[in-house]
Chain A
Amino acid sequence: MNILEVNNISKNFEIEQPIAVRIRNFFTRKQAPSFCALNNVSFNVKKGEILGILGESGSGKSTLAKILMGIYSPDSGTAELNSQSIFNLNYSRRLKILRKMQMVFQDPFSSLDPRMTVRRILSEPLKIHGIKPETNIEEFLAQRLKEVGMDPSALNSYPSEFSGGQRQRIGICRALMLNPELLIADEAVSALDVSVQAQILELLLSLQKRRNLSLIFISHDVAVVRQISDRIILLYKGRLVEEIDADKLLTAAKHEYTKRLLESALYLRENIP
């Protein structure tokens, strides 16, 4: 069963131009030049599945995540979460959708407010959505922190007191506060060292299994995406160029770009046992 269905999404960004040129374009009715970030992208995510989105920088993978989260609106196309449209909604309906769909950000250093304690960071989603936990709030937060492998004593600390890996755990914990069904991880492990990266991947995988989450995992790292995903889609210059089972990525990739990417990635992994 599909939890998310995305059809024909396109997004163009206007290229910024000097004011004089913009005024001239306005009077001559000339279309402002634009840059196509996404071009007719369609895919779906099954329930309990990890979908990897692979692409180089500028391929449109982050734009796609931002469109799904409602940060940008698409020029055309539709997306349905549990058969409910997620575009062009008013605030209250938008909130309802967001309860089911949360995001983990790339940079663990700038995605947590440095002036908020971990307690405030974690209880903010509850406050916004007006949710009161059944148990004592302290107990609830402590138990959630334990779930991501952190000590409950962290509640009174500020983000600056933690390492990159621990901050990413806090970010994941925040995303899971509302028990979403779909989690979007945009380059969630790219800023981390290999050893910490392995810890976070392990955590994501165990959480996904335990909560039967659907996960969209976005990254530029072929090896990471291959290992964590069930299915992979490849974006290249805003187009979806390949959709393939992760197990078949190395043997059955067809598109020229996929092959080129694999060649480079394999070259960097040669001879390592």
Chain B
Amino acid sequence: MGPPNSKMLTTENYSLTLKDSEGRVLPVVENVSFSLEKGKCLGIAGESGSGKSVLAMSMFGLISQTSIAKKSGKVLFNGSDIAHSCDMRGILGKKVGIIFQEPMTAMNPLMTLYQQISETVRAHTPKIEENEVRNKCFCALKSAGFSEPANFWNSYPHQLSGGMRQRAMIAMAIVMDPDLIIADEPTTAIDAELQVQIVSELKRKINEKNNAMIFISHDLGVMRVLADDIAIMYCGCLVEKGTAKSVLSQPKHPYTQALVNALPRLVKNRIMPVAIPKNMPSPDTKPKGCVFCDRCPNVSDKCLDERPKLKEIDKNHFVACELYL
């Protein structure tokens, strides 16, 4: 652990409860605590519906206020608590860059690539000159992996291939050189070669500028390459966190183990991925005890009554499971 001022983002017991249109109360994030230092990348892994995206989006006010029932705990970004502040316009885009899921829906189909990227620059630096905007966009696209950005200035999103749109999203997020990059599933549904390319670009970016990154994905393989620390999320709770190496090579929580076993192997012999039985409960039907108890192979009576807390079982390796208490 470095000195306290090297922390970029810290959350303490951050919880979020949403309400839906039918008035149901959904506890989507529960008591999440983690800290992220400068120059590091934190991976948040979990199935869809585990609350990993909503965690990242809600921290920076991207969930509509009307659907939030309750928010508690602290979110410290560069030392100031932003959990309850409403106006994020000064921070978003400038200090925090977000790479959204699904570039086809996140980009405006009526704006050219240049218009979309320069919009961010103009919003944060109103008096900037045209050629400077051009220059910034050029650099951003270049570092996002476009070899000839000028050829695509006037392209609309539908004229770009999937991989290119994905990289354009990255360029939009990094154009203002933010301190923190949040990447929400930036590499799903692209082939391995391009995945490696994008991941290495992102990694170079954070190493170069001593930025920090939160990488959200369900693909543990990509996460291993990129993340320094990994937090495994299930049903809105962190069930395991630690360094990427220890979490992936010695997974302790039964859910993490199941997730690793579900990954298709690329080995000479045929080993089929092992499915996790049953489905994840929805936020309003979560069990009272451990969130994973109805799918866990090692379930005991105690698991059903009490929700285990994260406990350090190895240096920097935390697990929330009865097995390790």
Contacts and interface: CB of A to CB of B under 8 A. Distances in A.
B144 interface: no
Contact of B276 (A198, A270, A272): A198
Interface string A192-235: 01111111011001000000000000001111101110000000
Contacts of A246: 270
A255 to B, nearest CB: 14
Interface residues of B, number: 43
B228 interface: no
Contact of A191 (B189, B264, B270, B271): B189
A195 B225 contact: no
B268 A269 contact: no
B323 to A, nearest CB: 18
Nearest to B266: A223
A269 B191 contact: no
B271 A227 contact: yes
Contacts of B221: 268-269, 272
B222 interface: yes
A60 interface: no
B192 A268 contact: yes
Contacts of B265: 223, 226-227, 269
B223 to A, nearest CB: 9
A5 B264 CA distance: 30
A194 B224 contact: no
Nearest to A59: B191
Interface stretch (B10-18, B77-85, B175-183, B254-262): B254-262
A250 B194 CA distance: 20
Interface of B is mostly: loop
B267 A264 contact: no
Residue from B224, B267, B273 with most neighbouring chain A CB atoms (10 Å): B273
A200 B128 CA distance: 53
Interface residues of A, number: 44
B262 A268 contact: no
A195 B47 contact: yes
Contacts of A199: 275-276
A228 to B, nearest CB: 8
Interface string B261-287: 011111111111111100100000000
B228 to A, nearest CB: 14
B259 A194 contact: yes
Nearest to A196: B47
A195 B264 contact: no
A198 B277 CA distance: 10
Contact of A57 (B163, B196, B245): B163
Given A56-B191, A165-B279, A193 B249 contact: no
B193 A201 contact: no
A265 interface: yes
A251 B47 contact: no
Interface of A: 55-58, 163-165, 190-191, 193-199, 201-202, 205, 220-224, 226-228, 246-247, 250-251, 260-262, 264-273
6 contacts: A165-B279, A194-B47, A227-B264, A227-B270, A228-B272, A261-B192
Given A247-B270, A266-B266, 9 more contacts: A164-B48, A191-B189, A247-B268, A247-B269, A261-B191, A261-B192, A264-B193, A267-B196, A271-B224
